[in-house]
Amino acid sequence: MCVQEPVVSVVTPTYNRRRSLERLLRGLRAQTYPFASFELVVVDDGSDDDTLAYLHQVELPFALTVHQQSHAGPAAARNLGVMHARGRLVVFLDDDVYPDPRLLAEHVATHAEAGDLVVIGPMLPPRGWPRPAWVRWDEETLQTQYRAMLAGEWACSPRQFYTANASVLRTRFVEAGGFDRRFKRAEDVELAFRLQDAGARFIFNPRAEIQHYATRSFTAWRQTPFQYGVYDVVMQREKSHHLLDRACEEFHRRHTLNQLMIRATLGRPSVARVSLAVLSGLVLAANKADLHRVARGALSGIFGIQYWQGISHEVGGALPLRRAIALAGVKSTGAHLLT
């Protein structure tokens, strides 16, 4: 008997999120795209809950394969998943999302319009789902990007390549070398720049929707912009992706108070610690009191300070802003933006 090969491989890394996986699988069961034409490849990244037991006993109308690795992070897990994928098209979904019933059909249809594409779909906030102010801040930032792309204010680019909801031809992924597993943050954006360098075009399909049930502690959220700063320097220094040129431009589009906080704290570790402590206390109090605008302003301040602290750290310690940029290798025009 001839077994049909899937057209689409959904690749999902997971780590100690059994309940989130149940929700993802419910969404995949509801897909309008034919079950025989897609598979789900789950890579367990060293979970110590009952994730594996659940995956081995669950019954699904589509093919499921499960692979394991020692805890090495999502970049390594996705690489392993693609290695075992059989589909021509790889759709990356995180384990904390719920896909719209048309999701896979929309990704496939968009790729059919042209050859060498990377397709990105929106991550939407779930309705009626309680979450803290820092998760809402991330959601609002993403929605602002989506509105700007739909309005034609900017084109979809590698910076919008988030692997919670994105697709790429498997051959293109393999040719690009997959994710750089050294990256514990921004590994998706780093790969996206290599895909662009190889000729891929980025398309935003607003109909390829997922709901993103993000869960993150405030401590974990605070570390994220620092990591982005570190890895933006690495990408500029080692891979010639000029992310810091854009960071310099964006610096001057920030609120004046935000700019002042960044200037005042960079190169001054003790000032940075005090500023972050004050802003963090403000966020927690505003989150408890449901003071949305206050929390949003304080979170923007934390993000800016931490991002530039990460840049300074990666280029060699506590450095003044302009010196940090110069050592990171930004073009002279970019560095002059900070004067």
Q: Please check whether residue 250 lies inside any domain of the structure.
A: yes
pLDDT, tens only, 174-213: 999 999 988 888 899 999 999 999 999 999 999 999 999 9
Q: Two tokens at 250?
A: 């964006």
Q: Two tokens at 142?
A: 């993403």
Looking at the fold, whether 36 and 122 belong to one and the same domain comes out as yes
Task: Quote the pTM value.
Answer: 0.89
Looking at the fold, whether 236 and 204 belong to one and the same domain comes out as no
Residue 338: per-residue pLDDT: 35
**Residue 6 contacts residue 39 (beta carbons within 8 Å):** yes
Phi, psi at 244, each rounded to 5°: -75, -25
Does residue 318 have a pLDDT over 60? Answer: no
Q: How many CA atoms lie within 13 A of 181 on its CB side?
A: 11
Looking at the fold, whether 207 and 279 belong to one and the same domain comes out as no
Last residue of a domain, one of 179, 212, 245: 212
**For the chain, how many structural domains are there in total?**
2
pLDDT, tens only, 108-154: 999 998 778 999 999 999 998 899 999 999 999 999 999 999 999 98
* Rounded CA separation 35/188 (Å): 27
Domain span at 25: 8-212
* Rounded CA separation 279/111 (Å): 44
